[in-house]
Each structure stands twice: as C-alpha cells, then as structure tokens.
Homo-oligomer: A and B are copies of this chain.
Amino acid sequence: MSKKEALTRAAAELLWERGYTGTSPAMILERAQAGQGSMYHHFSGKAELAVAAMTRMGDELRTGVEKALTAEGPALARVAAYLDLERAPLAGCRMGRLAQDHDVVADPELRAPAADFFTWLTARLSAVLADGVRTGELRPGVDPDAMASLITATVQGGYVLARVHQDPAEFHRAIDGAKQVLAQLTADADEDRPGHPGHR
C-alpha cells in the first residue's frame, strides 16, 4: 500500500473518530506510519488530504446505500433495507458529523464531498419513493422529496441522539419511528394501521 493510500485511509479513520478540527496532521502521520514529507509531497496540507479522505468515504457510502436501494422488492422494502444497513450509531455518520464542524462548513472544498453525498442520497431515496408511487404501491399523495428528506434527517438525527446518550438504542428508536410512519404510506395501510382493528 502506497503511503498516499495509507495517509488517505488514516485520515478517513481519524476524521470519523475526531472530526476535522480535532484531527492533526501528526495523528494522521502516526497512524499511517509515514513522515511529514510523504504527506506534504502528496497533498498541499491537512485540508487537501481531508478532501481526498472524504471523497473516498463518499464513494464507499454510496456503494453501500446503492446495494440496499437496488435490491429486489417493493419500494418500501428497499427503503427499509437502507434504514437497516449496518451502522455504528455511537461513532456517528462519517459524513454527517463532519458537516457539523465549523472549519468544514467554512471551506467550500471541504464541504463539497459531504454536500455531494447528501444530494445524491436524498435524490436516490426520493426516486425509489417516486417509483413506489408510480407503481401504486404507495399512496398518490406521498411527497417523495419530503419523505426522502425526512428519512435522511431521521438517520442523521438518530446518530446525534445515540451519541449524546451514548446508547445505540436511541438510534434504533428513531429508526423505528421512521419505519412506523413509512408503513402508513402504502396504499393499503388502512388494514394494518395500528389502532385500526384490522381483520384478524
């Protein structure tokens, strides 16, 4: 593995663990087993290395999400598969957490990889939901953009709650809430709607 590769990997890990402001070049070098020279040869500095790390992160995240969203089955099942993707609630979202960092938001180059990922994610979720509406699986009144935004926000917020309480269950409670309301979007939701005595 090239030093450049090792540096990008180490940077990605540390950005996840400590955020951008909380990560120093020295930490990255130590984890990557590299010297100062390697880093400043391949990158102009901390910011450029972080951009490379974030870009890689985005690619990995997209791959994982795409796998869940393109599976066989109804739209709602695919969205549920996305919600059930393996996650580490206590660690937080690799991308989302960086967006809370002042220095990341202040630098357009740093913000871009994160913004691109969330633009893609929300659009992708919206497309799946719109597909569900088109096939009649979901009620015609369902607003794909608003629901996609709600889902994305719930996941991000779930991470926040899990971290603040240091309890993964808080993440799953929020996800459960999302699943419960998603179940109400189906065209035949009346029957199994909680509280409505369905046929049993």
Contact = CB atoms under 8 A, between A and B. Distances in A.
Interface of A: 17-19, 21-22, 92-93, 95-97, 99-103, 105, 111, 114-115, 118-119, 122, 139-143, 145-147, 149-158, 160-161, 163-166, 170, 173-174, 176-178, 180-181, 184, 187, 190, 193-196
B164 A154 contact: no
B161 A149 contact: yes
B141 A195 contact: yes
Contact of A118 (B152, B154, B164): B164
B119 A165 contact: yes
Contacts of A97: 100
Nearest to A173: B149
A177 B96 contact: no
B166 A105 contact: yes
B180 A111 contact: no
Nearest to A16: B102
B102 A139 contact: no
A149 B176 CA distance: 9
Given A119-B165, A145-B173, A150-B154, 10 more contacts: A19-B21, A96-B160, A100-B101, A140-B195, A141-B195, A146-B177, A147-B177, A149-B177, A152-B174, A153-B155
Contacts of A18: 21, 102
Contacts of A156: 153, 156-157, 160-161
Between A97, A99, A145, A153, the greatest number of chain B beta carbons within 10 A of the residue's beta carbon is seen for A153
Contact of A196 (B19, B102, B141, B163): B141
Contact of A161 (B118, B163, B181): B118
Given A99-B164, A152-B161, A163-B105, A180 B115 contact: no
Contacts of A174: 146, 149-150, 152-153
Nearest to A138: B195
